[in-house]
Amino acid sequence: MEENKDVFYLSEHFVSLQGEGNCAGLNSLFLRFHFCNLTCTWCDTKYTWVAASGQFQPYTSATLKALISAHHTEQVILTGGEPTLYRLDNLVVPGKKYHVESNGVFIPTAPLAVTIADGTAFRRERMDESVISHFNWVISPKLSNARQQINGQSLSFWAAKDYCIFKFIIRNEADLDEIESILKRFNIAGNKVYVGLEGQSLESQLKPALVDEIVSRGFNFSPRLHVMLWGAGRGK
């Protein structure tokens, strides 16, 4: 695939409710970027991982900003895939509020040169922190249940920032133990943590005993509203 400094590959865009994190319930425009550097076992957007899916379209920053401007929604969710493969600071439209859903592996203020698992190469310059510090960053480090490795350097970067929160997806109480270990290692306050439940059905989200344990440990619960309302439906 030809490299281009001003190309943004999108799998889809749609308007829905923000389903998770510290801004759940907000009416939002979602821009789902294509390609990801991880291959999490429980990922519910695996169609964004690779070029072979064919389910994406290229945009320039100008065409994406025009798309953002054309929607009435104030909130813009940049998700994926992994949005930090792209120069997100070039997508700012006045009057919009930006939220980024990221796995946190790439440091946005550092230049990026990476080739992901399917062979697609990405190159981008550093993002301007004076711009992206106004975004609401939702950083989702992957626990061992995703069969991925924590990136210590990147997580240290995010732990020092006041413009991000951390979202973890769990299966059981053992995952909460793992979260507590990560927080201790990187000196992350528990009130910055939002914990969601793995699954794509309403039943998977209704586990009051596990939610009681989340609350008892001082974490915020992040109900996955889109899953509870629409299950695994696309465009929601």
Task: Please state the domain extents for the chain.
Answer: 8-230
Q: Tell me how long the chain is.
A: 236
| DSSP-derived pairing of the beta strands 112-115 and 97-102 | unpaired
> Per-residue pLDDT averaged across 216-228, rounded?
92
pLDDT tens per residue across span 107-147: 999 999 999 988 999 999 999 999 999 999 999 998 887 67
pLDDT band at 234 (very low <50, low <70, confident <90, very high): confident
Superfamily the domain 8-230 falls into: Aldolase class I (3.20.20.70)
> Per-residue pLDDT averaged across 192-218, rounded?
94
> Per-residue pLDDT averaged across 46-50, rounded?
78
> Per-residue pLDDT averaged across 142-165, rounded?
88
| DSSP-derived pairing of the beta strands 27-33 and 8-17 | antiparallel
Q: What is the pLDDT of residue 3?
A: 53
Spatial separation of the C-alpha atoms in residues 185 and 190, rounded to whole Å: 13
pLDDT over 70 (residue 4):
no
Q: What is the pLDDT of residue 150?
A: 78
> Per-residue pLDDT averaged across 199-205, rounded?
89
b/e sequence 49-63, b meaning 16+ C-beta within 10 Å: bbeeeeebeebebee
Q: What is the DSSP string of 154-202?
A: HHHHHHT-SSEEEEEEESSHHHHHHHHHHHHHHT--GGGEEEEE--SSH
pLDDT over 80 (residue 38):
yes
Distances (CA, A) of 78 to 62, 82, 137, 138, 177: 16, 9, 10, 10, 30
